[in-house]
Amino acid sequence: MYCTPEDVAGEIYIPLYAKMAAKFDGDGALGEFLSLNIARAGDYVDARLSGAFDVPFSAPVPPVVATATAKIAAYFATARFSEQEDVAKDKMEAADVMLDSLVASGKLPGEPVRSGSLVGGSDSRVFTDEVLRRW
């Protein structure tokens, strides 16, 4: 999993989370519910990023992937719990923008930038090899 139930809980709006907590008052029932949505969100993230990255990501999960997964899982949980996914639509839209940006850039934040190779030399008519050897 790319994020924790606590990460998802932080993305769910407080009044709705309070309703979820009241409904799932059993031992870990809310955590299980959120974990199921995290798994679904992880599959969604993998599908979106599979064209640009090797998925699934191994630990440590890049923070941007964890954040996007938590937002998507919150959207899924809201839709499954209250059938009012429009309340969390902004979460899904933000996560999609994050994933689109990753695919467009082709790299994760913090990865070293690959530079092109620099080849030295000059036009032999101006600076001959003999002149350049003196430097």
What's the pLDDT tens digit per position in 15-47?
A: 999 999 999 987 889 999 999 999 999 999 999
Domain count, the chain: 1
Task: Answer whether residue 118 shows pLDDT above 70.
Answer: no
Tens of pLDDT, residue by residue over 68-103, are 999 999 999 999 998 887 889 999 999 999 999 999
Mapping DSSP onto H, E and C, the string for the chain reads CCCCHHHHHHHCCHHHHHHHHHHCCCCCHHHHHHHHHHHHHHHHHHHHHCCCCCCCCCCCCCHHHHHHHHHHHHHHHHHHHHCCHHHHHHHHHHHHHHHHHHHHHCCCCCCCCCCCCCCCCCCCCCCCHHHHHCC
- Structural domain boundaries, residue 20: 5-110
Is residue 61 situated within a structural domain? yes
120 within some domain: no
pTM reported for the whole predicted model: 0.80
Asked if residue 67 is part of any domain, the answer here is: yes
pLDDT at 114: 64
